[in-house]
Amino acid sequence: MNALTEDLARIVGRDAVSTDEPERRAYAHDLWPKQLIARRAGRALATGPRAVVWPSSDAHVSALFRFAKSAGVKIAPFGAGSGVCGMTEANDDTIVLDTKRMRRVRALDVPKGRALIDAGMLGQHLEDELLWRGATLGHYPSSIACSTLGGWIVTRGAGQCSGRYGKIEDMVLGLEGVMPDGEPFSVGAPREGEPDARALFVGSEGLFGVVTRAHMRVWPAPVERRFLAYTFATLREAWDAVRALYQSGVRPAVCRVYDPFDTYVFRTGQRKSASKHVVDRSPAARHPVEEWLLRRTMPASKAINALNFAFGERVFGRSLLILLFECAPGEPVDESVARTRRTCLSCGGRDEGEAPARRWLERRHSVSYRQPGTYAKGLWVDTMEVAAPWACFQALYEGVRAALAEGGFVMAHMSHAYADGCSIYFTFVGASPDDERALELYTRTWSGALQAAHDAGGTIAHHHGVGRSKRRAMRLEHGAGVDVIASLARAADRDGVLAGGPLLPAPNEGPPAPSIAPASRPVSIDAMSRLVTVQPDVELTQVHRALEERGLVLRDAPHEGRVGEWLAKTAAAQVLRDPVDHRVAGFVARTRTGERAHLLPAPRRAAGPELFTLFATRPEGFGSLESVTLVAHGKDRQPEYTAPFETPDLVTTDNVHAWIDRAAR
């Protein structure tokens, strides 16, 4: 046992620390495809941490932070390593802190709709225990078997049932953990006029401390499922049906639209899997002849993409929409299903019965385990998840698809729908004659696609997070908000103990911040997306009047006072009764340095912490709002059922307030 191991063993116990080579290699990086290509190319990757530790209490985490400061090493928090954005890169100046021994459901109150859960609990274990006890979190990412609650929170993730339960930020009622100075913290719902520290830790990707427990919103466990499927002559008809559903208050748990080629793959893939009875050879084995052919034919994918884009609906046929409803005890779901049928048929849909949706549910996690065979054949495969308001959705789909087509073959489906917009999930496969050129092509493709997402009016990430793969585009996403995030990181980690930083671009990395101007008119309405962009000093009566003319309302907003004053008082309304709803879709602010921070309107994003409440409540410290985009609602029917919940009586500790004050200074 070396000296480092002895020191760490005194903190966490001998069986909770390892400096062995297998563990160090396993924790060196996550599943970012660029790192996998680099490994295949024989490039040197991260060496792995100096040690791996598995704390089982907050006291352990506090002691590890203090030890790291005295020993001159860095701490890298670790969930389960299933990320695909390069958030993990551990070298021998680092100790990896794996939270998976902190894995209990500490409290559960189903009538009050809340639970206290350790951040290191694996997703499938968590959901199994909740279901056994009559509850569900409703968070089902495709990585549920190999990801943790803490990982979901710090990457601002989404699960496949987000149409009913929302994204992870819609579930977080409060957080507990340890700051980099070793002091414990807690954050709950803020008092009136205070910034919401929950929104800073959610999506922070390890910049501000270690989350060890979370107070989460839970729902009664579902007792019934309903399955529907429709096909449409055009992709546009399909997503118009989705928009109509969510804007009318229908809340299917799963809502997925496949473009014509992805529909073809979905259907043929299901037929092949049903008829396959022979055990295939190891998917990770190299196949030299097949690899040689693919490396030389895949560059022709540009021509294939062009044909698909131009004639896909003629060649591959209709676009598929699958829907799944989950029902709590006593929930009136029949009317929602009937409304869905009427809406889909009125939008040109053809009823395909239950079978496609049932087949999706049976095989919903299988795609995540197909990567080894793809890489063994000399290809690379990656995914990009972006989102935009409905008014920008066509431009987002076409712009990002064209950019990704430069690097390989592209297909897409739409999932994670909301009343104001939707996410698009692109899958793209590429290859080059050798891996050095593959790395160059991969990097160039990602740069172009991130720029295209921003140019179309969308967000660069909906639910995978940022990491090293997308950080070059953070100034596109946030403008000078990147500098605010950096100031928060410096104020939280004054001694430089955390190894975090993949979220923040280097000074000259990526394109410069675009010039995003605030709204030029006091009130501007995007009726298709049901968004209203306003200046903070506008009277609420003027906003209500303008919306009334379009048949829209601003729910829960008073009729007296100014917009900015109302938002400063209620900026902390992060978790709403309807988890598919949210209040603020975007903003433009002038920072204290005179630069502009911004978020283009998007239904949801996973591009770092949300800064809106800092500008809404602390203009003297961070800067002032210049315009805000709010989510409006129609006067049609509201969601028929939303599970009740109560916010825990959790106090935001003084050290969190002090941290925000330091960042403001």
Cα–Cα distance, 269 to 255 (Å, whole number): 20
The CATH number of the domain holding residue 374 is: 3.40.462.40
For residue 490, tell me if it sits in a domain: no
Q: Please state, for a pLDDT cut of 70, what percent of the chain lies above it.
A: 91
556 and 658 assigned to the same domain: yes
Same domain, yes or no: 411 and 546: no
Question: Which has the minimum average pLDDT: 114-128, 193-207, 626-640?
Answer: 626-640
Is position 557 within any domain? yes
Question: Which CATH number characterizes residue 542's domain?
Answer: 3.30.465.10
Handedness of CA 503, 141, 25, 440 (dihedral sign): negative
**Is pLDDT above 70 for 370?**
no
Give every CB contact of residue 488 below 8 A, 6+ residues apart in sequence: 200, 207, 208, 609, 659, 660, 663
Tokens encoding 187: 């954050």
- For residue range 484-504, what is the model confidence (pLDDT) as tens digits? 999 999 999 999 999 976 899
How far apart, in whole angstroms, are the C-alpha atoms of residue 655 and residue 458? 35
Separation of alpha carbons 11 and 54, rounded Å: 10
Placement of tokens 């790291």 in the chain: 68
Residue 129 lies in a domain: no
Domain identity same for 259 and 401: yes
Please report the beta strands in 248-287, taking only residues with DSSP state E, as ranges in sequence order. 254-258
Give yes or no for residue 377 having a pLDDT over 80: no
What are the b/e assignments for 75-89, b being 16+ CB within 10 Å? bbbbbbbbbbbbbbb
Pairwise CA distance, residues 111 & 395, whole Å: 44
In a domain, 565, yes or no: yes
Confidence grade of residue 403 (pLDDT, cut at 50, 70, 90): very high
Most confidently predicted of 28-37, 235-244, 433-442: 235-244
3-class secondary structure, 254: strand
**Mean pLDDT score, 133-150:** 95
Q: How confident is the model at residue 433 (pLDDT cuts 50, 70, 90)?
A: confident
What confidence score (pLDDT) does residue 462 get?
A: 97
- pLDDT value at 285 more than 60: no
Neighbours of 330 (CB within 10 A): 8
Name residues whose C-beta falls within 8 Å of residue 293's C-beta, 6 or more positions apart in sequence: none
How many other C-beta atoms are found inside a 10 Å radius of the C-beta of residue 661? Answer: 12
Length of the chain in residues, anyone? 665
49 assigned to some structural domain: no
Total count of domains within the chain? 2
pLDDT at residue 314, rounded to an integer? 65
Q: What angle do helix axes 260-275 and 301-315 make, rounded to 10 degrees?
A: 90
Q: What is the mean pLDDT of residues 332-354?
A: 95
Phi and psi torsions of 344, nearest 5°: -65, -40
Q: Let me know if 6 is exposed, middle or buried by CB neighbors in 10 A (0-12, 13-18, 19+).
A: exposed
Contacts for 253 with CB less than 8 Å, ≥ 6 apart? 138, 161, 163, 164, 165, 324, 325, 326
Alpha carbon dihedral 498, 502, 503, 507, in 10-degree steps, equals 100
**AA letter at 360:** W
Q: Cβ(231)–Cβ(212) under 8 Å? A: no
Final residue of a domain: which of 431, 460, 483?
431
More confident residue, 51 or 643: 51
Task: Give tens-digit pLDDT for 500-523.
Answer: 768 999 888 999 999 999 999 999
What is the number of other CB atoms lying within 10 angstroms of the CB of residue 355? 12
Identity of residue 22: P
| Integer Cα distance of 139 and 397 in angstroms | 26
CB 642 within 8 A of CB 519: no
What number is the average pLDDT over the span 211-225?
97
Interstrand relation of 94-98 and 51-53 (parallel, antiparallel or unpaired): parallel
Spatial CA neighbour of 88 closest among 168, 169, 25, 16 = 25
State how far the Cα of 476 lies from the Cα of 481, in Å rounded to an integer.
10
Decide the pairing of beta strands 210-217 and 172-178: antiparallel
On whether residue 533 sits in a domain, the answer given is yes
Tell me the average pLDDT across 67-90.
Answer: 93
**Euclidean distance between CA atoms 383 and 428, whole angstroms:** 6
Please name the residue that has the structure tokens 């021994």: 101
Is the CB of residue 424 less than 8 Å from the CB of residue 412?
yes
Instruction: Count CB neighbours of 637 within 10 A.
Output: 12
Strands 224-232 and 319-327: antiparallel
Does residue 375 belong to any structural domain of this protein? yes
Is the predicted pLDDT of residue 293 greater than 70, yes or no? no
Q: Measure CA 352 to chain center.
A: 31
| pLDDT digits 0-9 by tens, 155-214 | 999 999 999 999 999 999 999 999 999 999 999 988 888 999 999 999 999 999 999 999
DSSP classification of residue 354: S
pLDDT for 149 beyond 70:
yes
Q: Please name the residues in contact with 555: beta carbons below 8 A apart, sequence gap of 6 or more.
A: 632, 633
Residues 534 and 415 in one domain: no
Query: What pLDDT digit, counting tens, does each position of 259-282 carry?
Result: 988 888 888 765 444 334 333 444
Q: Please give the average per-residue pLDDT across 136-141, as a whole number.
A: 96
The conformation of residue 578, written as its DSSP 8-state character, comes to S
Residues 260 and 386 in one domain: yes
Cα–Cα distances (Å) from 598 to 424, 519, 622, in that order, read: 22, 12, 13
Write out the residue range of the structural domain in which residue 290 sits.
224-431
Report the candidate in 179, 296, 17 with the shortest Cα–Cα distance to residue 663: 179
Residue 175: inside a domain: no
User: How much is the pLDDT for 281?
Assistant: 44
Domain boundary among 398, 431, 464: 431
Q: What is the DSSP letter of 510?
A: S
289 pLDDT exceeds 60? no
Q: Is there a contact between 215 and 174 (Cβ–Cβ < 8 Å)?
A: yes
Contacts of 352 (CB under 8 A, 6+ apart): 229, 230, 231, 320
* Angle value at C-alpha 492, between 486 and 494, nearest 5 degrees: 95
Q: Which one is predicted more confidently, 16 or 575?
A: 16
Residue at which a domain ends, from 431, 454, 474: 431
Q: Among positive and negative, which fits the CA dihedral 117, 122, 128, 129? A: negative
54's CB contacts (< 8 A; 6+ apart) are 12, 16, 17, 98, 100, 101
Question: Which pLDDT value is given to residue 268?
Answer: 76
For residue 614, the tally of other CB atoms under 10 A from its CB is 27
Contact criterion met (CB below 8 Å) for 60 and 12: yes
Asked whether residue 426 falls in the same domain as residue 527, the answer is no
